[in-house]
């Protein structure tokens, strides 16, 4: 929960856990609107436009809303005074159960699991969204990798072609076949990195900053989601470039 010492909606006074007035109003607002049918995205936009922050210096996001909706302490126990009723919590939990079934089967979450190789993806969507939005804002970050050094096999084929062309009469069928093979290998060596990089730059430059992760954009631009430790996420793009850290591989 970042820097929070107590659940959102509570504070410590004289060694006792008591209700924090401004935050508790937001808690009630979240449950009321969610139980009335508002989606997480709608709640987040609403919360961003009010003055009470979940954590100082951080904007509201879906994970913060989810933490509040799943916290059973808000109905009160031996330590925490009640902010909402048991009925309000029950309605919210039932709605979240149904939503979780749909979310777990969503295309976006399937892609996040496939690309990361992980089942537990809480918080990953926001990291990936931020990285893709940074590319939408600055597509010039996308750069093709340096051209690979020609392998020995290609040089051998080129030498053989030179020998064929210098030998009279020229064996045209063998020369044509060898020329096609050399061209195919050169294209493979290029690895379509230049083409992919240009395609990615154009794709991102044509997009607007996303409020929610677009599964189609994720599928068309990212080949792997890399967990670099300490919760840090990097993306390997289709051109093999890694976004999210200074070095690439």
Clarify whether residues 21 and 86 are in a common domain: yes
Reported as a single tens digit per residue, the pLDDT across 130-167 is 999 999 999 999 987 654 445 577 778 788 888 878 88
Is 128 among the domain residues?
Answer: yes
CATH label of the domain that carries residue 34: 3.90.1750.20
Say how many domains are in the chain. Answer: 3
| Same-domain status, 124 and 205 | yes
Domain-located, residue 248: no
* Whether residues 97 and 163 fall in one domain: no
Interhelix angle 124-137/62-70, nearest 10 degrees: 160
Instruction: Tell me the whole-structure pTM to 2 decimals.
Output: 0.44
- Above 50 in pLDDT, residue 179? yes
DSSP three-state, residue 22: helix
Q: Given this model, what pLDDT does residue 162 score?
A: 82
Contacts by residues 23-28 (CB-CB < 8 Å, ≥ 24 positions apart): 23/52, 24/83, 25/52, 26/50, 26/52, 27/68, 27/74, 27/83, 27/84, 28/83, 28/84
Residue 180 confidence (pLDDT): 82
pLDDT of residue 36: 92
126 and 232, same domain (yes or no): yes
The reply to whether 135 and 202 lie within a common domain is yes
Are residues 14 and 88 both part of a single domain?
Answer: yes
Shared domain for 24 and 71, answered yes or no, is yes
Does the N-terminal peptide bond of residue 169 adopt cis geometry, omega within 30 degrees of 0? yes
Residue 170, domain extent: 152-190
Q: Is 239 a domain residue?
A: yes
């Amino acid at each position: 929960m970042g820097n929070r010492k107590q659940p959102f909606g509570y504070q410590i006074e004289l060694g006792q856990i008591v209700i924090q007035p401004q935050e508790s109003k937001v808690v009630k607002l979240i449950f009321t609107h969610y139980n009335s049918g508002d989606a997480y995205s709608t709640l987040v936009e609403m919360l961003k436009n009010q003055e009470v922050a979940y954590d100082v210096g951080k904007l509201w996001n879906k994970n913060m809303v989810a933490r509040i909706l799943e916290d059973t302490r808000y109905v009160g126990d031996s330590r925490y005074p009640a902010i909402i009723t048991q009925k309000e919590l029950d309605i919210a939990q039932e709605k979240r159960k149904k939503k979780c079934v749909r979310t777990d089967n969503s295309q976006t979450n399937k892609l996040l699991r496939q690309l990361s190789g992980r089942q537990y993806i809480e918080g990953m969507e926001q990291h990936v969204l931020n990285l893709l939005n940074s590319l939408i804002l600055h597509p010039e970050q996308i750069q093709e990798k340096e051209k690979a050094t020609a392998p020995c096999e290609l040089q051998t084929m080129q030498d053989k072609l030179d020998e064929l062309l210098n030998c009279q009469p020229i064996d045209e069928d063998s020369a044509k076949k060898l020329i096609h093979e050399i061209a195919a290998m050169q294209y493979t060596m290029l690895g379509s990195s230049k083409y992919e990089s240009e395609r990615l730059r154009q794709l991102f430059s044509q997009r607007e900053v996303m409020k929610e992760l677009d599964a189609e954009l994720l599928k068309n631009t990212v080949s792997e989601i890399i967990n670099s430790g300490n919760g840090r996420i990097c993306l390997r793009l289709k051109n093999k470039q890694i976004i999210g850290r200074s070095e690439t591989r």
